[in-house]
Amino acid sequence: MKMTFRWYGESDPVTLEKIRQIPGMTGIVSAVYSVPVGEVWGEEHIERIRKAANDAGLEFEVVESVPVHESIKLGDSDAPRLIENYCENIRRFGKAGVKVICYNFMPVFDWLRSELSRELADGSNALAYENAEVLALDPSVSELSLPGWDESYTKGQLMELLEKYKQIDSEKLWENLHAFLSKAVPAAAEAGVSLAIHPDDPPWGIFGLPRIICSEADIDRFLKLVDMPENGLTFCTGSLGVSPDNDIPKMAAKYAKMGRIHFAHLRNILITGERCFEESGHLSANGSLDMDAIVKALKFNGFKGYIRPDHGRMIWGETGKPGYGLFDRALGAAYINGLWEASKEG
């Protein structure tokens, strides 16, 4: 496995030099943030990230994320053009030495939390999800914003988009995902890269929008849509793990053994009630997931992909992008490395 760290580009207060000093760190996970969703990324932009990473002694082999345009998810008439743009991006990443592309197929919103800075008992601050608060939220007026959300919509455009999704049920979304994958996966195979879908976070429908990558049954169906090794997963323990129905160590073992986990987002969460959770400290004892069992499941089933410590709490007075400070994510990387090193078969 290769330990990596998400870097939000030159404006990220967490610099490459700091990332490089985390023990065991091999590379960054990043993206070109200046290109509107659906457009082709300039080769010079991709090259600039690669060079910055390499100059700091790090690799750039994972792109997170290349957002899928809403028209592709909706199956609109311009979907074929946008899918072709996506394939062109894949080819460009392949040329630049990128090995894995992380993306998601969640309508309109990427990951969602109701609180960005809940104070935990130890005085740290964490992201949290309270179902009653989300149910009371009106996405068309809410000011909530999370890293990764497309902020380019006006409120009016957002309303229009939500209206369009009234025609899209889960089955229609599966069809549109299939149409996307049947072009994108062969393009990826040809370019020498793997696609890694990120599961829906949280793994249930929100605001009446369908979500289809939530469970083991969903993932089984997904992998069969285009049954090629390049059609794989970003195995995100914190996303799948907030549903008590998902047996995370079992799923990690199963999909690692199949060779379909290309990228793993490892973090713990504490389930605090039905459809309620907070992003706890990393240790198994801090949350609801058995992190040791998850790491062993990956290691003993031949996982050779990339790991990132995913989110962290805000500790030691750090401020920054919710979930994406330096200190606690670095502790997460060290913890996962420790589990990995100590895991011995037999």
Q: Which residues are catalytic?
A: 198, 236, 265, 310-311, 324
Q: Does 222 contact ligand DNO by CB under 6 A?
A: no
Scanning residues 239 to 278, which ones bind ligand DNO (CB under 6 A)?
265
- The residues, ordered by sequence, that sit 6+ positions from 127 with a Cβ below 8 Å of its Cβ are 113, 115, 116, 117, 118, 278, 279, 311, 322, 323
Tokens of 334: 């060290």
The residue count for binding ligand DNO (CB under 6 A) is 12
- Considering the complex, state which of residue 225 and residue 300 has its C-beta at the smaller distance from ligand DNO: 225
- Contact track, ligand DNO, 181-220, x by CB under 6 A: -----------------x----------------------
The least CB distance from residue 269 to ligand DNO, in Å, is 12
- Considering the complex, state which of residue 153 and residue 300 has its C-beta at the smaller distance from ligand DNO: 153
Q: Does 69 contact ligand DNO by CB under 6 A?
A: no
The least CB distance from residue 97 to ligand DNO, in Å, is 20
Contacting residue, 84, 88, 110, 290, with ligand DNO by CB under 6 A: 110
d(C-alpha 112, C-alpha 108), whole Å: 11
Contacting residue, 4, 30, 65, 194, with ligand DNO by CB under 6 A: 65
Question: Do the beta carbons of residue 305 and residue 229 sit within 8 Å?
Answer: no
- Considering the complex, state which of residue 265 and residue 296 has its C-beta at the smaller distance from ligand DNO: 265
Q: Does 237 contact ligand DNO by CB under 6 A?
A: no
- Considering the complex, state which of residue 35 and residue 300 has its C-beta at the smaller distance from ligand DNO: 35
Q: Which stretch binds ligand DNO (CB under 6 A): 35-43, 78-86, 98-106, 333-341?
A: 98-106
The least CB distance from residue 307 to ligand DNO, in Å, is 13
